[in-house]
Structure 1
Amino acid sequence: MADVICLAPAVQGSIIAAVQRYDPAAIIIIDGAFQAEPAVRHKEILWAISQAIPVIGAGSMGALRAAELYPYMHGVGLIYRWYRRFAFLPDDAVAVLYGPKVVNFSPLTHALVDLRMTVRAAWRRNLISADLSGKLENAARNLNFRERTLSRMVREASPEAGDHDIEVCRQILAGAFVQQKKRDALSALQLMRENALVPAELTNFKMTIAFLQDLEDAGLAI
């Protein structure tokens, strides 16, 4: 079993800070922040890779960055493959609203990708109709990521339904819920535990003024 240190969602400077503090054998990027703080930069990920540190991406921000930085990052999971195949898919498909560090950054909403997988799983199990399945997917897609919950999705999909019917539908979907982001994150951990990673070759990494400014903004230096 690999020794794993779990850190907060990645932001600008997180990768460099982790390398400097922990000297890791590998890095997995799963979640990342992008509103209150600048998002984790492509350049700092490439810097880590240039230091012969394998960087794996999965689940959320990690899947996005892995798709964008192929073939240098190791992408893992269905969500990564989805972004690799469809380059212009919306970033907010994996975004969630989450709580502060004191509650371990627990998610307060559901990602669109998890809601879509859940609706389709419920339809395949004949728990909901094809018509309702389509309405639920459209409702989830049209909601802002800060508002994507099972209850809100069902209410938007069936505005004429009463509270009882909405709760019944919510419970059906909750029973069929697919945590695709979590599945992909666990797959990334399993890859690291197997110790089968070979660092990508990146010998032509170049410092830029913009990158140095990012480091300064994050209070870092290399």
Structure 2
Amino acid sequence: MQDVIIYLGPSLPVNEAEKILPATYRPPVRRVDLLEAIHIKPRIVGIIDGVFFEDAAVGHREVLEVIKAGITVVGASSMGALRASELYPFGMIGVGEVFRMYKEGIIESDDEVALMCDPTTHTAFSEALVNVRVTLTHGVTSGFLSKEETEKIIETGKKLWYPDRSWTRILTDSIPDTKRRDEIKAWLVVNAIDQKREDAKVALMHIRDILS
């Protein structure tokens, strides 16, 4: 019996994940994938990444069936955080900042965590809006960014189709002053926060603690 099955994609490279938690790693979860997990009967299923708009997303009923089968389900970072925010009253465990943001209604749309990636390598080609939000919050807290700048940047990001979101595109469309735009780009090199990546690590450590 496999103890842990983790559905992982662009949020964290598998080779890094394996250093935190030895497990069976599978690509981002799709509709009906969890039905196979029920037959395998692992102790824990971890949902980090999943498909969104290009294919059928994992359904709420599927997650509930896994829980009903006595399997612990942990969600974080991306699709996992979204489903956990909807299903934690029914036993799904949510961890991490993105989960908290969904749970508390700070973010609501699926496309806050969606991005475009290579279907084979899972290399991300766009930036998740939730990462933009967290980074901007840090920018305001540290005094580098003004509230007005962050509001303009977020509004611009929200208007873009999720595969088109990148820091370069968002800043080009939202910050007309080229000098200030270059200052922000230079600041991002050191200060950009990949919250989805951090939450994926937290989820793996949480599962590791459950197993210990």
Who wins on radius of gyration, i.e. which is larger? 1
Q: Give the structure 1 partner of residue 199 of structure 2.
A: 184
Q: Give the structure 2 partner of residue 109 of structure 1.
A: 126
1:92 matched to 2:115? The reply is: no
Q: Give the structure 1 partner of residue 186 of structure 2.
A: 171
Counterpart AA for 1:136 = I
Q: Give the structure 1 partner of residue 167 of structure 2.
A: 150
1:38 matched to 2:50? The reply is: no
Offset at residue 196 of structure 1 (A): 5.9
Q: Give the structure 2 partner of residue 207 of structure 1.
A: none
In the alignment, structure 2 segments of 5+ residues that lack a partner are: 1-19
Offset at residue 88 of structure 1 (A): 7.5
Q: In the alignment, is the contact (CA less than 8 A) between 2:112 and 2:130 conserved in 1?
A: yes
Counterpart AA for 1:176 = N
Paired with 2:136 and 2:42, the residues of 1 have a C-alpha distance of 39
Aligned counterpart in structure 2 of residue 59 of structure 1, from 77, 80, 97: 77
Q: Give the structure 2 partner of residue 69 of structure 1.
A: 87
Q: Give the structure 1 partner of residue 15 of structure 2.
A: none
Paired with 2:106 and 2:181, the residues of 1 have a C-alpha distance of 35
Offset at residue 123 of structure 1 (A): 2.6
TM-score scaled to structure 2, two decimals?
Answer: 0.81
Q: In the alignment, is the contact (CA less than 8 A) between 1:63 and 1:76 conserved in 2?
A: yes
Counterpart AA for 1:86 = G
Higher relative contact order, structure no. (Cα contacts within 8 Å, ≥ 6 residues apart) = 1
Please report the RMSD computed on the Cα atoms of aligned residues, expressed in angstroms: 2.2
Paired with 1:193 and 1:19, the residues of 2 have a C-alpha distance of 20
Q: Which runs of 4+ in 1 moved over 4 A?
A: none
Counterpart AA for 1:40 = V
Q: Give the structure 2 partner of residue 29 of structure 1.
A: 47
Q: In the alignment, is the contact (CA less than 8 A) between 2:41 and 2:71 conserved in 1?
A: no
Q: Give the structure 2 partner of residue 126 of structure 1.
A: 143
Paired with 2:180 and 2:101, the residues of 1 have a C-alpha distance of 33
Counterpart AA for 1:112 = L
Counterpart AA for 1:15 = L
Q: In the alignment, is the contact (CA less than 8 A) between 1:122 and 1:173 conserved in 2?
A: no
Call closer, same or farther: CA 1:174–1:140 in 2, change over 3 Å: farther
Higher strand share: 2
Offset at residue 95 of structure 1 (A): 0.9
Bigger mean CA deviation after superposition, 140-149 or 51-60 = 140-149
Q: Secondary structure at the match of 1:141?
A: helix
1:7 matched to 2:26? The reply is: yes
Counterpart AA for 2:105 = F
In the alignment, structure 1 segments of 5+ residues that lack a partner are: 198-222
Paired with 1:68 and 1:120, the residues of 2 have a C-alpha distance of 25
Q: Secondary structure at the match of 1:86?
A: coil
Bigger mean CA deviation after superposition, 123-132 or 63-72 = 123-132
Q: In the alignment, is the contact (CA less than 8 A) between 2:52 and 2:114 conserved in 1?
A: no
Counterpart AA for 1:14 = D
Offset at residue 161 of structure 1 (A): 3.5
Query: What is the count of residue pairs matched by the alignment?
Result: 192
Paired with 1:148 and 1:88, the residues of 2 have a C-alpha distance of 17
